[in-house]
Amino acid sequence: MSLRLAIFDCDGTLIDSQHSIVAAMARAFDAVALPCPSRRDCLSIVGLSLPQAMARLLPEAEPGLHAEVAEHYKRAFHDLRLAGQVREPLYDGIAALLDALDADGWLLAVATGKSDRGLRLALKELGLYGRFVSLQTADRHPSKPHPSMIEAALAQAGVARADAVMIGDTSFDMAMACAAGVCALGVGWGYHRPDALIAAGAHSVAMDSAELARHIGLP
């Protein structure tokens, strides 16, 4: 049997980090004396690299301000973590799904807008750091939906496009999968609506981990 690779987005797919993201975003905008966007708007850009995310939240601003707010966001998230205020639990059923994929011979990877450091800390706190053969982050790639992260994960795992799936909660994930030529599977428990995922190219959208397992093709 050929090697198979399941590539997961992180925020909104594996872990529920919305409270920490919104808290850090509020601190970042406060640092530049600007009103923070709504919770919905803050969550709508999750998955993009920070400069691109800030460009969407502040479309009229100069790139210099986008970069400044992005730096404040990174600092705020770091400070929240040091204070023990970051909450990034796994979504229901994800731990069992990863176990089932392992048992069925799948390799696992992550493609995320998080930094290397942020992803490493999140996975270590959950006891998952050693579960993935490839960890691709915004530190080393263009922002989603550019296919670079998926291309690197495929190369590192030694898996063909036809034997890989990209699993995510945003239209950015689905568009990235389509650009890379791999199957796009959406999840409905994250930050973009199921209809937006379908419009962006999702083959299907699962509303819970058991349905996702069926869409992946687990026995």
Query: What is the residue extent of each domain of the chain?
Result: 4-16+89-216, 18-82
Model confidence, pTM: 0.95
188 band by pLDDT with thresholds 50, 70 and 90: very high
30-53 pLDDT, tens digit each: 999 999 999 999 999 999 999 999
How many other CB atoms are there within 10 angstroms of residue 82's CB atom? Answer: 9
For residue 1, the model assigns a pLDDT of 63
Classify domain 4-16+89-216 at the CATH superfamily level: HAD superfamily/HAD-like (3.40.50.1000)
Stretch 167-181: mean pLDDT: 98
Stretch 158-163: mean pLDDT: 97
Q: Please tell me whether the peptide bond between 145 and the residue prior to it is cis, using omega within 30 degrees of 0.
A: yes
For residue 2, the model assigns a pLDDT of 82
Longest pairwise C-alpha distance within the chain: 57
Q: What is the CATH number of domain 18-82?
A: 1.10.150
Stretch 65-93: mean pLDDT: 96
Mean pLDDT of the chain: 97
Stretch 139-149: mean pLDDT: 97
